Amino acid sequence: MPIYEYECHEPGKPPVVIEVLRSAADADKPVADPEGKGRVFKRRLSVFATGGAGAPASGGHVHSGSCGCGKPRGSCGM
């Protein structure tokens, strides 16, 4: 099941963001306020990066000397 992000905007406060593990069919259904304050949460676009345009071909895994994985430079395939 995917994790969805929901946010609540209260005047004069930074948005409150929660993550909920739920099925895609339930993604847009109302979310109960986890603190029971009656706040209304709306689903937001989750933004994350795993690589892609502009990212290093190694996926951000950089070798200098020995790798953090413990293998010599260039031998871990990353």
Task: Give the per-residue pLDDT at 1.
Answer: 86
Q: Can you give the pTM of this predicted structure? A: 0.57
In a domain, 50, yes or no: no
Query: How much is the mean pLDDT over the chain?
Result: 78
Residue 41 confidence (pLDDT):
94
What token pair was written down for 28? 């847009």
What's the pLDDT at 7? 94
**pLDDT tens digits along 5-51:** 999 998 999 999 999 999 999 999 999 999 999 999 999 987 766 66
Whether residue 72 is contained in a domain is answered as: no
Specify the number of domains making up the chain: 1
Three-state DSSP at 24 gives: helix
- Cβ atoms 42, 57 nearer than 8 A: no
Does residue 39 belong to any structural domain of this protein?
Answer: yes
Residue 34 placed within a domain: yes
Domain ranges, residue 23: 3-44
Q: How far apart are CA 9 and CA 45, in angstroms?
A: 15
Q: What is the pLDDT of residue 73?
A: 61
Distance (Å, whole) CA 11 – CA 59: 39
In a domain, 71, yes or no: no
